[in-house]
Structure 1
Amino acid sequence: MCTEFGDLCRAVWNTALDQRRQYVDRYTRGRQGGFCGYHLQAAQLAEAKAEEPWLKVAPSHVLQQTLKDLDRACREKGTFKVRWRAKYRWSPSFRFPAGNLITVEKLNRKWSRAKLPKLGWVRFRSSRPIGGIIRSATVSRKGGRWFVSFLVEDGLLTPEHHPGTPVGVDRGVKVAATLSTGRFHDRPFASPGEKARHLRLQRKLARKKKGGANRAKILKSLGRIATRAVDRRTDFCARLARQLTTRHSMVVLENLRTTNMTASAKGTPEEPGKRVRQKSGLNRAILDKGWHRLELALRNAARRTGTRIVLVDPAYTSQTCYRCKVVDANSRESQAEFVCTSCAHTDHADVNAAKNILHAAGHAVSACGDLGVARSVKQEPAPPRGQAHQPALPLVGIPRP
């Protein structure tokens, strides 16, 4: 039933997206056409359910929530930048937005069960207590297994003040995160055996015919290996984000556009790219360290601690000497060694970059006073009572309907 619900949501998404693109194309070419939004498509969905019985299998509010998600994606990214949900590239997922129709009961220390519309009672492994009023539930499939996640309202507000000190974080390819305090945080996300098996399965996949049963088995095995690496990466980012937001009042990061940085260097047939294989290897290394995932985890954890997340310009942070501020590419003698050509200052290259990132934010001292330096930073005015100190940040996970 979950697979069928996911297929119905995928069909509704693709049909509604195609309809939106047709309306936009008519409007840009001067033809007669109107505005195609959520309300129009929701009314047409109700008419389609009366004519097509197969649409009645899934709950109505699940399909309507799919249209809401599509409407939000089109408004934020643009209609022609929203991707199709392909059958073999999209993991099935759907959301129950009516929290009053969801009931969760604790069975024992490890297991619980949830009553979901048209699915009935479903047992699941409890990873943590619910801890609030349920607003929605999302069912998704990952790595051949089904997961349910609940969006709850716990009634907590972001603290107005954080007693910690600022810290700069340099995200790298060799080490995932280096702090301005001199600490390094990194871990392997895939073992050598998993990498070798993944490569062997990719070679076998290239020899299989599309649509065959053996190809489906290999894809399933590849998905299990990739899922384990993703879970480890997610756990690493969540743990590191929790540590940083608990100890520090402000976390400074480089404003890195990972989508642009990991673009292919193939170029066009008229102007082919150079060093394509080297660039593809760098792209895999960047994506493996999870730079953007760490930023999302920090923003998510900062909502509970009041930590400020600041992004600065990444230009020349790895080539600038933290002591004398001289910019010279020759100062970085290797990946880990930094020796300034002007003042002979020596430091780890990533630590020096993290200190420059912290200094670029303009908050070298805490908001409450000096820390042995000649320049002070004024404390920010407190917001009105009852309001959060940090502005509302986008949720990482299930958005509220």
Structure 2
Amino acid sequence: MAVTLRTNGNIQQQLARTRKGSNRRKRVVAKLGAVMARVRQRRQDFNAQTAAVLVSRYGTVVLEDLKTRNMTSSASGTVETPGGRVRQKAGLNRAILDKGWHGLEIALTGAARYTGTQIVKVNPAYTSQTCAACEHVNPKSRESQAVFRCTACGLVAHADVNAAINIKNAGGQSVSGRGDLAVGRSAKRQPPIGRSRPPAGIPRL
């Protein structure tokens, strides 16, 4: 992926040096389209493989109910009320979209149909500000992007790990389609009779 991204950057530089409407620009645009197609294919493959592993191991998978469209809205504003830090926000938007979060959710939902795994989405509000040990909520506990230090009980943990525990707890112990409480790995069950085969990219489990 790193090689592809570097190639993409080089082609974008070539595109910036071409004249609009020229034949050279058309060739560069076609080349850029081919590279981006490979990026999308790799992202889809990664999501499908990751989803297959998760649903084969767990009876319940808990996700943050993120509104990607709202998170990646432009900060440019309007002529009357222009936005601020537009370039930084644009970079953040590209980073979010490049991760393919929604694609992973779709892959998980599709793969879960064949294993009975339950996909649970929870509200992400305050999960990064809540202590996973004592449940105290304080934005000051999020000491930095990486460090969580509870202002009440003193727990110190990686901020993402602390938030992930809160998200898992918010998902509860939901009963999966296999009839267990997702405590251990359930026995496989076959897809119901008449169910179509798994879509391409998702191996049969």
For normalisation by structure 2, the TM-score amounts to 0.81
Q: Are the aligned partners of 1:297 and 1:396 in contact in 2 as well (CA < 8 Å)?
A: no
For residues 326 and 295 of structure 1, what CA distance do their matches in structure 2 show?
A: 30
Alpha-carbon spacing, 1:338–1:396, altered in 2? closer, same or farther (3 Å)? farther
Alpha-carbon spacing, 1:202–1:363, altered in 2? closer, same or farther (3 Å)? same
Q: What is the deviation of 1:272?
A: 0.2
Residue 81 (structure 2) aligns with: 271
For structure 2, list consecutive stretches of 5 or more residues without a partner in the other structure: 184-191, 201-205
Amino acid at match of 2:137: V
**Equivalent runs, 1:386-397 vs 2, <5 Å:** none
- Which residue of 29, 34, 37 maps to 1:224? 34
Q: What is the deviation of 1:292?
A: 0.5
For residues 21 and 5 of structure 2, what CA distance do their matches in structure 1 show?
A: 25
Alpha-carbon spacing, 1:306–1:365, altered in 2? closer, same or farther (3 Å)? closer
The question of 1:339 aligning with 2:149 is answered yes
The question of 1:290 aligning with 2:109 is answered no
For residues 213 and 252 of structure 1, what CA distance do their matches in structure 2 show?
A: 50
Question: Higher relative CO (CA 8 A, sep ≥ 6), structure 1 or 2?
Answer: 2
The question of 1:301 aligning with 2:111 is answered yes
Q: Are the aligned partners of 1:251 and 1:310 in contact in 2 as well (CA < 8 Å)?
A: yes
The question of 1:233 aligning with 2:43 is answered yes
Residue 321 (structure 1) aligns with: 131
| Percent identity of paired positions between Structure 1 and Structure 2 | 52
Alpha-carbon spacing, 1:206–1:370, altered in 2? closer, same or farther (3 Å)? closer
Amino acid at match of 1:252: V
For residues 246 and 279 of structure 1, what CA distance do their matches in structure 2 show?
A: 37
Q: What is the deviation of 1:340?
A: 1.2
Q: What is the deviation of 1:368?
A: 4.2
Amino acid at match of 2:31: S
Residue 203 (structure 2) aligns with: none
For residues 6 and 173 of structure 2, what CA distance do their matches in structure 1 show?
A: 46
Q: What is the deviation of 1:236?
A: 1.4
Alpha-carbon spacing, 1:326–1:283, altered in 2? closer, same or farther (3 Å)? same
For residues 199 and 370 of structure 1, what CA distance do their matches in structure 2 show?
A: 44
For residues 341 and 387 of structure 1, what CA distance do their matches in structure 2 show?
A: 55
Q: Extract structure 1 runs of 4+ deviating beyond 3 A.
A: 193-197, 364-371
For structure 1, list consecutive stretches of 5 or more residues without a partner in the other structure: 1-189, 372-385, 389-394
- Which residue of 199, 203, 208 maps to 2:13? 203
**Whose Rg is larger?**
1
Alpha-carbon spacing, 1:396–1:281, altered in 2? closer, same or farther (3 Å)? farther
The question of 1:258 aligning with 2:68 is answered yes
**Equivalent runs, 1:2-401 vs 2, <5 Å:** 190-191=1-2, 193-363=3-173, 368=180
Q: What is the deviation of 1:225?
A: 2.1
Q: Give the strand-richer structure, 1 or 2.
A: 1
RMSD (Å), alpha carbons: 2.7
Residue 186 (structure 2) aligns with: none
Which SS does the other structure have where 1:305 is aligned? coil
Residue 376 (structure 1) aligns with: none
For normalisation by structure 1, the TM-score amounts to 0.43
Q: Give the helix-richer structure, 1 or 2.
A: 2
Amino acid at match of 1:248: Y
Q: What is the deviation of 1:227?
A: 2.2
Q: Are the aligned partners of 1:358 and 1:364 in contact in 2 as well (CA < 8 Å)?
A: no
Q: What is the deviation of 1:271?
A: 0.4
Amino acid at match of 1:326: H
